[in-house]
Amino acid sequence: MTQVAKYFSILLVLLLPAAMSSNGQEPFDLDEVKVVAPYEPTISDAFKIMLNPVIKDTLDIQLSFNYIIPSKKLITSFEVEPITPARMRGEPLAKLYRGLAKGGYGSYSTPYFEGFFNSLRSNNHQYGVRLKHLSSGGNIPDHGHSAYSDNLANIYGQRFLGRYTLDADLKYERNVVHYYGFKPDDYEGNLFMENYLDSLTNKDIRQKFDQVSSSFGFGTNHGDSARAHHQYDIGYHWLSDDYNASEHHAFLKGFFGREIEADPFGMADKQYFSLNADATFFNLKNQLDTTNTSVISIQPKLWSQFDRFQFYIGVNAAMELDTTSYFRAYPLIGTEVNIIPNRLVAFANITGGVEKQSMSTLRTINPFMETSSDYQFMNVRSDIGGGIRGALGEIIGYSLTLNRAIINNHPFFVNDTSALLNNRFAIVYDDISRFSMRAELMAKFGERFSGRVTASLFQYGMTDEKEAWHTPSNVLSAHLKYNIQNKIILTSDVFTRSETYGRLFDESGEAFASIAHPFHVDINIGIEYRYTKLLSVFLNFHNVSNTSIERWMNYPTQGFNFLGGIAYSF
């Protein structure tokens, strides 16, 4: 290795001068070079020579398998072990008390008593008794004796027989009023009337209604809608007054309903058929006449449900039986659409019917009526209505209803000018059209606060009469209740009514409308203090604004008054 380096050094010394002289004699040949891209070094591919031997076999072998998995049933056994039922503890039932007694006393010499006695929980029967007395000395200034008295005794019961129920009811009512709608001072200077009023006693202007009502019913009580439901009732009412007027009223009612097979066209999810049949008989005796009348009606109806859409169609076939007989038929059509479940429901209906006016129904509206009146059939030719109802959240509920009715022989009360003191009311009938709108808003905030506001609007189209006598066109009511720790209960009721009109006659005998009472507001407040679960005291204030109004012309109401007392459960 040393010799090689030595020879290489000598050769380098000999060749170096020659190279240098050569470069000095001849100039370099320079060319212009243009660089158009940066230099990118590359390395050529290198191919590795395989050193291991490779044998290429020309024979290609493909393998295929045929296999079978034999099945064999394994005998297994399973022993059922009993499952212990879960124990569910229901909420304890609230304790019931058999009786409740309430009593008190108020202004205008007003004693009050009401008592209830009922059976406790039972799978076999239910019964109860109710007694009530409320009276007042009246004491309305400048008018006749205005005392009144309301008495009630009611016994009722039910007997459960498996899938059937028997029920019975017996009631006695005694209501006393006085025809106090006159002012003695108005007849000052009239010798005849002064003598007449001097001889007039409280008994002479007293009106007393005695009514006995009874009913008996039998029907099914099972909850299976696929099975037939039926209910049958029979009843009798007897009513008499102090002026030799009496009324006998008997009725028969029947109901049958059952879910029917599905719609053969496959459109209805559920269908239900019902049939109502009513027969009512009246016998009326008074100083003028004795009449016998009846009303018989049959109402078949088919109800169907299509998802959120419900629809029913039927007919009300009614027969009036009087000195002459009339057959009338009315459509029964209704629909309901659940637009937003549990929030918005729209509905509409068309109905009609006939109703016999009676002494028992009209005297509850106006007890100062003349019972020797003509009681006619009221014919509701058509009643078309519709509206919406639903809820705003979980707290507020609402409803809005519109109706348009055409009615023949609608009764109205007018002052009976044939009476010496003009202190009774006769009945006049007129063919009318009536538009009504009713809006209702309900709210409940837990168990402490609840409220309800209702507004009603009426518009009448009269045929013969000038006004819808003694009937307000606007009515607004509000009820509020507040529970303070379940110890103090506060309630408030507010009623407002628009003006009403009574019928009077001018000197020429022409009828004209006179305001019976203007627009007014009636405020009532109640307070109850629950000393224990069994004992509580209450105090109610009525007509807080002390505004005496004439609900019926010449019959002012009491001013501010109160009633307080105690209630005890046992």
In terms of pLDDT, which residue wins out, 425 or 74?
425
Q: The tokens of 491 are what? A: 């309630």
Per-residue pLDDT at 309 exceeds 70: yes
Q: Which two tokens stand for residue 29?
A: 């040949």
Q: Is 385 exposed, middle or buried (0-12, 13-18, 19+ CB in 10 A)?
A: middle
Instruction: Tell me the fold of 376-570.
Output: Maltoporin; Chain A (2.40.170)
- Please determine, for residue 22, whether its predicted confidence score (pLDDT) is greater than 80: no
Query: 191: which 2 tokens?
Result: 């010798």
Tell me the sheet residues that pair with 503. 513
> What element of type H or E holds 18?
helix 2-25
Digit-coded pLDDT (tens) for 120-149: 999 899 999 999 999 999 889 999 999 999
Compute the distance between CA of residue 480 and CA of residue 94 in angstroms, rounded to an integer: 26
| Partners of 201 in the β-ladder | none
* Beta-ladder partners of 63: none
Q: If we measure between CA atoms, which residue out of 164, 259, 300 comes closest to residue 221?
A: 164
Closest Cα to residue 212, out of 239, 248, 180, 175? 239
Residue 12 tokens, joined? 């380098």
CB 365 within 8 A of CB 471: no
Neighbours of 69 (CB within 10 A): 5
CA distances from residue 422 to 12, 281, 419, 555 in whole angstroms, order as listed: 162, 33, 5, 11
- Residue predicted with more confidence, 446 or 356: 356
Closest CA to 178 of 206, 151, 138: 206
Count CA atoms within 13 Å of residue 190 on its CB side: 11
Q: How many CB atoms lie within 10 A of CB 26?
A: 7
Q: If pLDDT is split at 50, 70 and 90, which confidence band does 393 have?
A: confident
* Listed range (40-44, 227-231, 337-341, 398-402) with the worst mean pLDDT: 40-44
Q: What is the structure's pLDDT at 50?
A: 64
Which of 174, 134, 137 has its CA nearest to residue 153?
174
Is 70 exceeded by the pLDDT of residue 500?
yes
DSSP 243: T
Mean pLDDT calculated for residue range 158-166: 93
- Examine the pLDDT at 224 and tell me if it is beyond 80: no
Confidence of residue 66 (pLDDT cuts 50, 70, 90): confident
The pTM of this model reads 0.80
Average pLDDT in the chain = 88
pLDDT at 26: 47
**Given this model, what pLDDT does residue 9 score?**
59
3-state secondary structure 378-418: EEEEEEEEEEEEEEECCCEEEEEEEEEEEEEEEEEEEECCC
Do residues 503 and 467 make contact, with C-beta atoms less than 8 angstroms apart?
Answer: yes
Which residue type is seen at 108?
Answer: Y
Structure confidence at residue 20 (pLDDT)? 47
Distance from C-alpha of 211 to C-alpha of 214, rounded to nearest angstrom: 10
Distance CA 217, CA 231 (A): 7
Mean pLDDT check: name the lowest of 224-228, 518-522, 538-542: 224-228
HSE of 112, CA atoms in CB hemisphere, 13 A: 18
Q: Is 555 exposed, middle or buried (0-12, 13-18, 19+ CB in 10 A)?
A: buried
Closest CA to 233 of 218, 222, 214: 218
Q: Residue type at 116?
A: F
**Residues 544, 524: Cα–Cα separation, whole Å:** 6
Of 104 and 263, the structure prediction assigns the larger pLDDT to: 104
In single-letter form, the type of residue at position 327 comes to F
Q: For the chain, give the percent of residues with pLDDT over 90.
A: 69
Q: Concatenated DSSP letters for 22-58?
A: HHHHS----------S----------PPP-S------
Identify the pLDDT of residue 78: 74
Q: To 5 degrees, how large is the angle CA 441–CA 444–CA 449?
A: 115
Q: What's the pLDDT score for residue 18?
A: 47
Q: Which residue has the higher pLDDT, 341 or 251?
A: 251
Comparing CA positions, the residue from 272, 270, 274 lying closest to residue 257 is 274
Distance CA 289, CA 476 (A): 41
Q: What is residue 24's predicted lDDT score, i.e. its pLDDT?
A: 45
Residue 266 pLDDT > 60: yes
Mean pLDDT value across residues 459-463: 96
pLDDT one-digit tens code per residue, 28-46: 454 555 555 566 667 666 6
Give CA 217 to chain center in angstroms.
26
> Using one digit for the tens of pLDDT, what is the confidence trace for 169-201?
999 999 999 999 999 999 988 899 999 999 999
Distance between CA 302 and CA 275 in Å, rounded?
9
In the predicted structure, residue 322 carries a pLDDT above the cut 60 = yes
% of the chain beyond a pLDDT of 70: 88
- Is it the case that residue 424 has pLDDT exceeding 80? yes
* Three-state secondary-structure class, residue 159: strand
Is residue 561 within 8 Å of 134, Cβ to Cβ?
no
Q: How many CB atoms lie within 10 A of CB 462?
A: 16
User: Tokens 């068309």, residue?
Assistant: 350
